[in-house]
Structure 1
Amino acid sequence: MNNSSIDNIILATAKVWVRDSSGNYKLGTALLDSCSQVNFITDEFSQKLRLSRSKQYIEIQGIVIGFELPLTFCITTHIAYQPDPEIDISSWNIPGNTTLADEEFHVPGKVDLLLGTETFSSLLSVVQIKLGTNLPILQKTLLGWVVSGRYQTTNNSIKPSCLLTANESLDARLE
């Protein structure tokens, strides 16, 4: 068995409260994506919020700090990111005084929202904590501390992946 180190990447996630059509809040998991030009919401979560299918602003709130952001989302069937399998963080020494934006960032689970570049940038603070050699960083945001970046593991079952969504063109569908 080969026990060489494997580099893995954790993407920044946060638990957020999202206002539904009745003004109540539902808890969702958001992926913070500095490369997306738009915000996305899964069709399943959109239906859970009972949102109409038109241009509409949705307010989200962080769990940690009481602030709201009105955002517009594009609906998609799936947002493809989850750590798989569960990441062992027992030796990472995450400081006890940091409130994580997603306490379950290391546990496989589905993502409900993708917050794009404009939202991502407005959430960032200047403070970072490096957890150690070959470990990710903690980045302070308005949603709490997010964990992201490269880490190493000796577990051969974890394979790096590339996530890609391709949509057929309308021409191809009509043919």
Structure 2
Amino acid sequence: MGLLPTASVIIPDRIAPKEARCLLDTSAQENFVTNELAKKLRLPRTKIKVGFVAAGGQGLTTLGTTTFRVQSTRDSQNSIKIQAYILATIASELPHQEIDISTFDHPKNIELADMLYNKPAKIDILLGVTVVARIMRDRKARIGHSGSPNAYYTDLGWIVMGSVAATSPRSVMVIYGSNPSLEHTMETFWTIEELQ
């Protein structure tokens, strides 16, 4: 089973900063935030409908777009501006089951971005490839035997990802963009071409 990288972040707020959990996903071309978190933070939103398709063909529609900042829980100087689409939900709890880390050997000098990376918890924000590429740094640490996940340094702290033992597979959610208006335009164009 693959362990996906997560990070806890702080989102500055006028009343009190809020903590949120991010999934770092290099296969996502966009950033996403849950409607629940956007409401809790009273984030300003721009109404826009963009279609996304989850694995299995399930259609998802955005509830708008918003912009906000996230900070490392360890260093408030590491602040990143995010533009994200708002979705009702991003993913089920990750990881899908608790990971036994008793055999992992975490180096003492690393500060994890998500101290509870091995325990299932909800995902509030998905950071896509453009943000992940910006925050990754060129440092890696092994945290276990061969076949165990590795830790990678980012501006948010050390993230853990890689292969882990699993007792049974669970569902996986994959999202990719769909632009219905462009698809419709192209379909209409080819229909007209065929008629001429």
Match of 2:163 in 1: 150
**Per-residue Cα deviation, 1:95-139 (whole angstroms, up to 9, x for no partner):** 122100000011111000001111000110111112321200100
3-state SS of 1:28 partner: strand
Q: Does 1:100 align with 2:103?
A: no
Match of 1:60 in 2: 70
3-state SS of 1:87 partner: coil
CA deviation after TM superposition for structure 1 residue 27, in Å:
0.3
Give the direction of change, closer, same or farther, for the CA distance of 1:51–1:89 in structure 2 (3 Å limit).
same
Q: How many matched pairs?
A: 160
Match of 1:4 in 2: none
**Per-residue Cα deviation, 1:16-65 (whole angstroms, up to 9, x for no partner):** 01123x36421000111111111100011111111122254211111122
87-96 or 160-169: which moved more? 160-169
What does 1:88-127 align with in structure 2 at a 5 Å threshold? 88-127=100-139
Aligned AA (1:49): L
What does 1:1-175 align with in structure 2 at a 5 Å threshold? 8-20=1-13, 22=14, 24-54=16-46, 56-65=66-75, 66-81=77-92, 82-131=94-143, 132-153=145-166, 155=167, 158-159=168-169, 161-165=171-175
CA deviation after TM superposition for structure 1 residue 84, in Å:
2.4
CA RMSD between the two structures: 2.3
Give the direction of change, closer, same or farther, for the CA distance of 1:70–1:165 in structure 2 (3 Å limit).
closer
Structure 1 spans left out of the alignment, 5+ residues: 1-7
Instruction: Calculate percent identity across the aligned residue pairs.
Output: 30
Aligned partners of 2:146, 2:108: CA distance in 1, in Å?
19
- After superposing on structure 2, the runs of 4+ consecutive aligned residues of structure 1 that deviate more than 3 Å are 164-171
Considering fraction of residues, name the structure with more helix: 2
Give the direction of change, closer, same or farther, for the CA distance of 1:26–1:138 in structure 2 (3 Å limit).
same
3-state SS of 1:57 partner: strand
CA deviation after TM superposition for structure 1 residue 145, in Å:
0.5
3-state SS of 2:138 partner: strand
CA deviation after TM superposition for structure 1 residue 70, in Å:
1.3
